[in-house]
Structures are given as structure tokens and as C-alpha cells.
Amino acid sequence: MPEVNKETQAQIISLVSDFVRRDVLPVVKDLEAKDIYPEDLIDQMAELGLFGITIPQQYGGMGLDHTTFAMIFEELSKGWMSLTGPIGTHHVMASIISNFGTPTQKETWLPKMASGEIRGGLGLTEPSGGSDIQAIQTKAVKNGNYYEITGSKMFITNGDHGHAFAVLAKTNENANPAYRGMSCFIVSKDSPGFSVGKKLDKLGYKGVSTCELIFQDAKVPENELVGQVEGKGFAQVLSALESGRINVAARAVGVAQAAFEDAIRYSQNRESFGKPISSHQAIQLKLADMATKIQAARLLTYEAAKDKDNGKRVDLQSGMAKLFASEMCAYVAMESMRIHGGYGYIKDLPVERYYRDAPLMIIGEGTNEILSLLIAKRLLDEYKL
């Protein structure tokens, strides 16, 4: 994927920044408090082309590089991190189709996904297990010209408002190792036997529907098996999750940046002992530490994005970026609250929202504990004696 020139990149980010300032910030407090799905804002994002950020131009997408992709996610998250939800796993699904789909699958799905007419998601996590992907129980059995999918998926972003999902299921339950028996399917919401379960009430990440998907012998046409080859789903999903972890890292950087900017402004206005609290060394040390950690996370994220664009394997880089950025975000959100004092703890200011949103990045797209193990495994492979 070619790198976007700096002028074009700046124009795109400015456009997103204007959207956040003009349309998002005035309404986010009310929408977030009431946990309302922001239909109008999501439609505006579709008009801006944000459902097709990395989808190739030949299919109607913007065809942007992953660095610009990360910058867009960071900018949106500075305003309201929840806005990245409807386009996050949507792009994971688009990546699976773009990289592994048949020509017909690409022509059928990508143009409508790029325009936002079809909004996608990823059916991966299950009620009985999250990060242990090989332990999934959902299965797909071939029956004539269809596959019948049985099982359920949990914590699915876009579950309520999405139109189609990339769903990982077992097509060979006896495969050893298990991942060789997994396949990925494009499942439309109107498939017979497919339904959406309850909407989950979350600590943060409000306004975005997170649901359970239920498959009861759901009938999926055989031509919706990604790539038309069984047993490749595990690798297809893992490859796409590299970009997913880049977007989660970028979200964390955006939320942390917003928390820092609120804190440094507040510290210069709030007085104690006759002077702004920003003149106290204790506050200065916090601000310096926050800003340094944010920049380090940003650079890790951009490095992973650049390597992804250069066609490199980036499970290590994207894992490191997501791990560090998410932990950093939780730290910065708490430090911002401490600088704000009592005002940071009440809902009049957005600081408490940053604090509630931060854990999503730690848990989502692979828990940090699992990511740490994966990072260590890759490092041991690289430094093998």
C-alpha cells in the first residue's frame, strides 16, 4: 500500500479534526450519558469516506496507508473513542475480504463496505473463551450448496447495527492442530438461522452496540467461504487482526492525548496556594511523564503501521504497540483525573469518560496478558539459540 504524501495526509486529518470539533464535541456528553447510538454522526463518517479508509480505490475506497489510518483513529478518539467502533472491526472484515477473498467476493462486498452501505464486523470471541481462538466451539457443516453454522459469538461490536460479519468457525473438528480446521465466512445478517442476542451494558465505550451473535444452523451460501478454501480462516483472521491492533493502539493514543490536553489546560487555570497548580513541581513531573509516554506509544503505533504498509509481518510490532499504548492510556487517564482532583471524578468533565473508556483497549483485540505471551514467543523465535 503506497504511502500517502504529507500534504494529502494533513488535509485528511484536518477534515476529521473539523468534524470532531464541529459535530462531535457538542453532542458527545449527552449521547454518551444516554448510551445512544450516534446514527447521524456515523452517517456523516460514511459521507467522509471513513468506512473505506484502507479499502483499495478500485473498489471505491480511499486506499490510504495504515499510518494515515492510525492518525484518523487517533483524531476520532480524541473526540469520542466510541466513534471508532463502527469502523474498527468493519475494516478488519474488509481486510480479510481484500487480502483473501475471491474476485467475486471482493466485487460483491468491498464497494458497498467502502461507501458504508454495508457495515461490517468480526465474529471471533465466544462466551466460553476469548483470547484462546483455537478453542472456539462454533462449527460450520457443509450441506449441499450451503454451510450450516451453529454456535454463538460474544462482545461483538456493530452486532446490532452491522449488516454482515466475518465469522470464524470450525469446518473440521478433528483437525490437529485445531487451527487447520478453521474457516472464515462472510455472513449476512439476513441469513436464515442468524440472530442478534442481547445488547451488553458496558462500563465505557458507550453509544456503540456490543452484542451476542447467535447461529442456529444458520444457512450461509458456499460461495461466502472466504477464498473458497477451507482451513485457512485462522491465518486470515490473524493477519487482519494486525491492522486491528494498530487501530486499537491508535485509539489509546487519542484518548490519552485528550486526557493530557485537558489536564495541562486545567493545571494552568486551577490555582492552589496562590498560584496555578502547573507551577508546582509535582504536577510538572506528571505532565512530563504523560506527554513522553503518549509520544512513545504514538511512535510505536506509526512504526507498526509503516511496516504493515511495507508488507512485513507485524504481529510483534502491532502487539507491542497495542500493549504499550493501552497500558499508557489507562495510566494517563488516571493521572489526568488526579490533576483535576474532585472535578475529574464527576461527569461534568470528560475526564471520567476517558478513565472508563481506557480499559477497553487493554482487554479488546486480544488481552494484554495474551499479547505479552505472543510477544515473548516471537522474541524467542527471533533470538533462538
Task: Classify burial at 14, counting beta carbons within 10 Å of its beta carbon; exposed 0-12, middle 13-18, buried 19 or more.
Answer: exposed
Q: Where are the beta strands (DSSP E) in the chain?
A: 120-123, 139-143, 146-157, 164-170, 182-188, 194-199, 210-221, 271-272, 275-276
Active-site amino acid positions: 365
Name, in order, each residue with C-beta under 8 angstroms of 288's C-beta and a sequence gap of 6 or more.
none
Do 245 and 297 meet the contact criterion of CB atoms below 8 Å apart? no
Do 152 and 213 meet the contact criterion of CB atoms below 8 Å apart? yes
Say how many C-beta atoms besides its own lie within 10 A of residue 108's C-beta.
Answer: 17
Residue with the three cell numbers 481506557: 358
By three-state DSSP, how is residue 377 classified? helix
Strand partners, 187: 165
